[in-house]
Structure 1
Amino acid sequence: MPIAHHSTFGPYLIRSWQPGDRAAAVALIAQVLQEYGLTCEPSDSDRDAREVEACYWQIGGEFWVVEADGALVGTAGYRPTERGDRAVELRKMYLLPQARGQGLGRHLLSTLEAAIQQRGFNEIWLETASVLKAAVGLYEASGYEPASGVETARCDRVYRKPLPPASPASTA
């Protein structure tokens, strides 16, 4: 079983994904991708949204959902990757239009980074598409550095962010 996460940001509840969230999370991801003209690949690069237990939980990652009034409005997760030393890949960070422009994405990213750092990981990798201009801006403003090695067909950008070691006080 994964580490349980539960936090809030304004009217939003950020919590660990549960099996009952599967259909809504997959539909949300497909909706956001379609909004930007990107292809959802449920049997390939988006398989992890359907198979959270195997693709996140069983390999030491976490997958979170964002709720507003009991409905999912966002997703985000991370899982270990072989791209670096004690590295994770940030995945599936999507928000529906009604949840954007309020600082939720920035809060979600910083909360994920803190969780990742507390787990002792050294760096975060992510892939994104240039068409996701707000996401690209958020990552660049948050210290993510351009890298190389795109592995997902719809993506054209890779970023990496080294993390300082977690301080002893934050791991207690």
Structure 2
Amino acid sequence: MKQYYQNFIIRDWQQSDRQLAAAVISSVLSEYGLGWEAEGADRDVLEVEEYYLKTGGEFWVIEHQNNIVGTGAYYPIERGDNAVEIRKMYILPKFRGLGLGKYLLQELETAIFKRGFKQIWIETASILKEAVQLYETNGYIPTIGVETQRCDRVYMKVR
């Protein structure tokens, strides 16, 4: 998968992206006072093959001038009905406010629904105000059942 949005490239993750994608995510988490959890909530970033590629999910990176500036991913989950969870939607601060997050979310949804999934779940933290606003203005409904320790909100969207 390779797509373009303005002067950004959104493409499939490659092994050589592992540390750079992890650095983007860790940086955004620390910006909001949230910790990087290599053995917990962020283990999937270090083991993309196991968590995403082998389970029927996808992990994308956003490139700008040959630098990774964002990520977005999803994988199938057990809860719900034929469901996936969107994970690791992070964009460095310098590249926010350009519509990139909304575009990424819509492209993830398109890929998910094309593959026949019926529900999308997203967990986030209230402190990530831009993310909360993005999900709520794009049809995600608050629900219950947060499973990730640093998160306090869970949303769902049904096709």
Question: Which TM-score band applies after superposition, normalised by the shorter structure?
Answer: over 0.9
SS of residue matched to 1:124: strand
> C-alpha separation between the residues in 1 aligned to 2:108 and 2:51?
17
Deviant stretches of 4+, over 6 Å: none
* Distance in 2 between residues matched to 1:99 and 1:56, nearest whole Å: 25
> Does 2:27 correspond to 1:28?
no
Alignment of structure 1 residues 1-172 onto 2, 5 Å: 5-163=1-159
Aligned to 1:167: none
Partner SS for 2:112: helix
Q: Quote the Cα distance in structure 2 between the aligned partners of 1:153 and 1:85.
A: 23
Taking the aligned partners of 2:145 and 2:81, their CA distance within structure 1 comes to 16
1:72-98 alpha-carbon deviations (Å, 9 max, x no partner): 000010000011111000000000011
Match of 1:169 in 2: none
Q: Distance in 1 between matches of 2:64 and 2:50?
A: 27
For 1:75 and 1:100, the matched residues in 2 are separated by: 13
- Report Cα offsets for 1:114-133 as digits up to 9, x if no partner: 00000000010010000011
Q: 2:68, 2:125 → 1: CA distance? A: 23
> 1:56 is paired with a residue of what secondary structure?
helix
How many residue pairs get aligned? The number is 159
Query: Following TM superposition, by how much is the alpha carbon of 1:58 offset from its aligned partner in structure 2, in angstroms?
Result: 0.3
Give how far 1:135 is off: 0.6
* Identity rate, percent: 56
Aligned partners of 1:99 and 1:119: how far apart in 2? Answer: 29
Equivalent AA in structure 2 for residue 52 of structure 1: V
1:39: Cα distance to partner?
A: 1.1
- CA deviation string 1:30-82 (max 9, x = no partner): 00000000111011110000100000000000000000000000001000001
When Rg is computed on C-alpha atoms for both structures, the one with the higher figure is 1
TM-score by length of 2: 0.99
The one-letter code sitting in structure 2 at the alignment partner of 1:154 is: R
Instruction: Output the CA distance in 1 between the equivalents of 2:126 and 2:59.
Output: 24
**Structure 1 vs Structure 2 CA RMSD:** 0.5
